[in-house]
Structure 1
Amino acid sequence: MLLERRDLQSLAYMLALPALVVWQWMHGIWLPLYALMLFLTLGTGVIHHNHTHRRMWRSKRLNRLTDLWLTLLQGHPTYVFYPAHIANHHRYRHGPLDVARTYRFNGDTNSLWGYLIHPLQAVTVLYPVFLRWLLAQRRRGSGAWRYALWQYAAVLMLWALTAAIDLQNWLLLVLLPQLHGLHWLLATNYLQHAHADGHSSINHARNFEGWVNPLLFNIGLHTAHHAHPKAHWSKLTTLHRHYRERVDPRLNAGGLLPYMFRTFLLAAFVPRLRSRSLMSPASGAPRAPVHASENP
């Protein structure tokens, strides 16, 4: 029933995360398992994203069940990817009309503070997008409105039930891991786009290589993903080879953790390591929207 066998890895993450929660709920928190659980919350965010772009199953019912399962794991409804990610980020690609563009809030920065604060800033502009979308669906009488409310209800019921059973375990094993995953889901936008050129059709995203890709479903190969948003994540490795030589070399950043250490920590003491913006102040005119299925 799976469209792609490589999504067995996705299913393994989706089963391992709640299994670790249940085991630690029953036997107590063990730091190595807790660290693994936090890592799996990152994977859940990427799977959530990937399932939005390309459905995992041949069956509509299984895809709906996967939406619900990911909603419960993430602690946030699946529907939000459609108005905020597909209709906004993939349409405007970090350009001046992208509501959560990294240079909207503190200027065109790429710093530790910018990375840490970006998720909170993004939420302030994304939630109005969610609400407008929901109200539009309600006015149309669309079933999407009811589907989104069911997703919110599922999260609230999970929280209420687990908090009633054990408030401390709910905080440590449910809410905190979900917030950790949501932080990374939103902060990834900063990692992938800060100091990239929001006015360029090719240099609008940063790419990461190394272990982040096999562990997190090729999330680092972002230029290829923007160019081919409907391609399955397993195909991005091949597609990346085509785009790697076309983007500005500074956007091929190597490994994710070395990049973060170099850019957010070492650069404070070594000026030559500081990130430089690729965006020209003179190129401020909004770019025409690009539909999610369109290649640059």
Structure 2
Amino acid sequence: MARPAYRLLAYSLWDLVPIAMALAHFSFVLWLVLGFHEHSWWLIIPTALLYAVSLSWSINSISHNQIHNPYFTPHWMNRGFDLLLSLTIGFSQTLYRDIHNRHHRGNSDLPREDGTTIDPLSIYLHGKNGQPDNVWAYTFLSFFRDDPKAFYEEMKRKHPADARWVKVEIYLTVAFYLALAAYDWHAVLVLLPFWYLGQSLSSLNGYYEHLGGNPDLPIAWGVSSYSKLYNVIWMNNGYHAEHHYRPKMHWTKVKAFHAQIREQQREAGVKVIPVSHGLGFLLKHDR
């Protein structure tokens, strides 16, 4: 049943949670820079590390859920929210949506004969002999391996309106951080390596979301973690096998979906890890 036209939220009142957290995250970034010289290094270092973790958290929870089920009914509000995410995370949310949708088309697929994968984020793309890439190479080099320009050029041909909005997001994001640098370049310079660390932590998270998944079996495309704390904080990102199996399912429904298909998952050998994906390196893996 369609929602009444006056309802601003497209799916659920629960989406007020990620919306509020996105506003809080943006405020946190402003606080880090605007109050930089009022803080001691005993506060700056741990909050900068928190900033790095918060980038991976936002990319894999707030931003991720906005891609699959945009929070708002009016298109212009989703555009505005995408811009807010772009300013906070430091790259275009609309371009990330395109790359992430490609990820779901390939589902961390194995390389074809020409060495390419459908999924540009596949953990097998830079691996050898059909094996996944080294976890630390994938974590820290993915940032430099990405080629967003190629994706943007295709977007210009297929979705020109989105391509125009990508430019808006990029220009305003650059202007935003230049303005912050003009206010306090020391703060921006100190935070820059932590921004890169945040992007790398997001790659680390993505690596263990698929290490041990089965690229040839839809129900087992992803790897799940049912840690309660992780799923509360990361808005059910732990239900990753379920998410790849039904990517358009709202984040509030994947837990119940897991209960419905638990036996099928067991028979298919869906991999489950006992810790959050970002801590997957603490475990011993078969592959």
Q: How does 1:89-168 map to 2 (within 5 A)?
A: 89-96=103-110, 97=117, 98-107=119-128, 114-123=134-143, 126-127=146-147, 130-139=148-157, 142-168=160-186
Runs of 4 or more consecutive aligned structure 1 residues displaced over 6 Å after TM superposition: none
- CA deviations over 1:96-123 (Å, ceiling 9, x no partner): 232332122233557xx92222144434
Task: Give the secondary structure class of the aligned counterpart of 1:103.
Answer: coil
1:44 matched residue in structure 2: 58
User: Counterparts of 1:260 and 1:227 in 2: how far apart (Å)?
Assistant: 21
Whether contact under 8 Å (1:244, 1:252) holds in the other structure is: no
Task: Give the secondary structure class of the aligned counterpart of 2:225.
Answer: strand
Root-mean-square deviation (Å): 2.6
Q: Is 1:203 aligned with 2:213?
A: no
State the one-letter code of the partner of 2:81: T
1:276 matched residue in structure 2: 286
Whether contact under 8 Å (2:90, 2:173) holds in the other structure is: yes
1:77 matched residue in structure 2: 92
State the one-letter code of the partner of 1:92: G
Stretches of structure 2 lacking an aligned partner (at least 5 in a row):
1-7, 111-116
Q: Is 1:15 aligned with 2:23?
A: yes
User: Counterparts of 1:229 and 1:45 in 2: how far apart (Å)?
Assistant: 16
2:272 matched residue in structure 1: 252
Q: TM-score, normalised by structure 2?
A: 0.80
Higher relative contact order, structure no. (Cα contacts within 8 Å, ≥ 6 residues apart): 1
| CA pair 235-63 structure 1, distance change in 2 beyond 3 A | same
Farther-moved stretch of structure 1 (224-233 vs 10-19)? 10-19
Aligned residues: 261
State the one-letter code of the partner of 2:221: H
Whether contact under 8 Å (1:74, 1:181) holds in the other structure is: no
Stretches of structure 1 lacking an aligned partner (at least 5 in a row):
264-273, 278-296
| CA pair 222-250 structure 1, distance change in 2 beyond 3 A | closer
- CA deviations over 1:54-97 (Å, ceiling 9, x no partner): 111112121111000000111010122343211x2111212223
Task: Give the secondary structure class of the aligned counterpart of 2:179.
Answer: helix
1:236 matched residue in structure 2: 254
Task: Give the secondary structure class of the aligned counterpart of 2:273.
Answer: strand
**How far 1:139 sits from its partner (Å)?**
4.4
User: Counterparts of 2:159 and 2:20 in 1: how far apart (Å)?
Assistant: 37
User: Counterparts of 1:182 and 1:17 in 2: how far apart (Å)?
Assistant: 16
User: Counterparts of 1:18 and 1:134 in 2: how far apart (Å)?
Assistant: 25
**How far 1:249 sits from its partner (Å)?**
4.9
State the one-letter code of the partner of 1:20: F
State the one-letter code of the partner of 1:186: S
Q: TM-score, normalised by structure 1?
A: 0.77
1:2 matched residue in structure 2: 9
User: Counterparts of 2:242 and 2:254 in 1: how far apart (Å)?
Assistant: 6
- CA deviations over 1:227-281 (Å, ceiling 9, x no partner): 2211111111111223433335561112227963542xxxxxxxxxx4224xxxx
Whether contact under 8 Å (1:207, 1:223) holds in the other structure is: yes
| CA pair 137-18 structure 1, distance change in 2 beyond 3 A | closer
| CA pair 106-153 structure 1, distance change in 2 beyond 3 A | same
User: Counterparts of 2:207 and 2:159 in 1: how far apart (Å)?
Assistant: 36
Farther-moved stretch of structure 1 (99-108 vs 206-215)? 99-108
Select which of 178, 181, 197 maps to 1:180. Answer: 197
**How far 1:144 sits from its partner (Å)?**
2.0
Whether contact under 8 Å (1:41, 1:181) holds in the other structure is: yes
- CA deviations over 1:103-157 (Å, ceiling 9, x no partner): 22233557xx922221444345541xx3233223434682222211111111211
| CA pair 138-166 structure 1, distance change in 2 beyond 3 A | same
2:113 matched residue in structure 1: none
User: Counterparts of 1:258 and 1:135 in 2: how far apart (Å)?
Assistant: 32
Farther-moved stretch of structure 1 (45-54 vs 164-173)? 164-173
**How far 1:8 sits from its partner (Å)?**
2.1
User: Counterparts of 2:193 and 2:141 in 1: how far apart (Å)?
Assistant: 19
- CA deviations over 1:168-199 (Å, ceiling 9, x no partner): 211234x3443233223222221111232222
